[in-house]
Structure 1
Amino acid sequence: MELLKPPPTMKLPADWFTGDAYADVIYRGQEPSRARANMVRFTPGARTAWHSHGLGQTLYIVEGIALIQSRGGDILEAHPGDVIHTPAGEEHWHGAAPDQFMSHIALWEGDDVNWLEHVTDADYGGKRVSTRTRP
């Protein structure tokens, strides 16, 4: 067993995020492990750029309201306790609702992330579907 000392909180880069977002590394496996886990905190309205993960990504919503969209789909409004999985190669973005902070734990494998363009305000303000009303 090993008690891991986490690195300092990092502000996430403007090249990949609109607004302010911060990450705390929970776990970054060393080869042969590819496991990654971060606690990510978004200020109101902050969001990632469009991106995809080579092996997919899973988000566990901790607090606030998360907005998550796959390219071409509706915006999913996720709530604390919701778990959202995006499959390998699927372009998506995620961030906070415009009126409150949001935190999620992001889980993925490896460093194969393809960062794309920023999410426009029009895309961010698109039609939402709440996890509270889904079957």
Structure 2
Amino acid sequence: MRITRNRPDTRSGPAEHFNGTVWLDEVAAPGPPSGLRVFSVHFAPGGHTAWHTHPHGQILHVTEGEGLVQRRGGPVELIRAGDTVWIEPDEWHWHGAAPHAFMTHLAVVEAAEDGTTIHWHTDPGVPEYPAVRGAQHARDAV
């Protein structure tokens, strides 16, 4: 058993992979033979990831606030504190805070044999986040 009392410093989400203000805290990365990685990700209103995939999928568990998540070709979905999202292996997606609220989630991934946990993508055919801000109206219907 190991108890980690001193985690790495909080770091900001790099601009090439995140829009808006996003902060990342590594919660767990136990090392081989485990490929488990857990992050607490804090999004300011409107902050979000770029399109990306994970070789073994991803679990998002929203701990506070309201956010948005979308898989490629699917609708923008509203997520709230207590919601858990399973993203399939290699499924294109993005996620972040709703335009009007902060959002924090735990992100759980498993590294591939080469240590890779994420692949970042760009696709000019996919609408940018401001184009999906209409999803804010979805919260009134939920």
Q: Same fold (TM over 0.5)?
A: yes
More divergent stretch after superposition (106-115 vs 67-76): 106-115
Give the distance between the partners of 2:131 and 2:55, measured in 1 at CA: 24
After TM superposition, the structure 1 stretch with the greater mean CA deviation from structure 2, 114-123 or 83-92, is: 114-123
Task: Indicate yes or no: 2:65 matched with 1:57.
Answer: no
- Residues 1-135 of structure 1: matches in 2 within 5 Å? 1-4=1-4, 5-110=6-111, 111-117=116-122, 120-127=128-135, 133=142
| 8 A contact 2:51–2:122 mirrored in 1 | yes
- Contact persistence 2:99–2:133 (CA under 8 A): no
Whole-angstrom distance in 1 between the partners of 2:3 and 2:15: 32
TM-score, normalised via structure 1 length: 0.89
Matches of 2:72 and 2:131, distance apart in 1: 10
Contact 1:74 1:127 in 2 (8 A): no
Encode CA deviations 1:52-108: one digit per residue, 9 max, x unaligned: 000000000011111000001001101110000000000000000111111000001
User: What is the rounded CA distance, in whole Å, between the counterparts of 1:51 and 1:25 in structure 2?
Assistant: 19
Q: CA RMSD in A?
A: 1.9
Could you tell me which amino acid in structure 2 is paired with residue 117 of structure 1?
A: T
Task: Give every structure 1 segment of 4 or more consecutive aligned residues whose post-TM-superposition deviation is greater than 2 Å.
Answer: 121-130
Question: C-alpha deviations, 1:15-59, integer Å up to 9, x for none?
Answer: 000011001111012111000100000011000000000000000
Aligned residue pairs total 132
**8 Å CA contact 1:74, 1:126 repeated in 2:** no
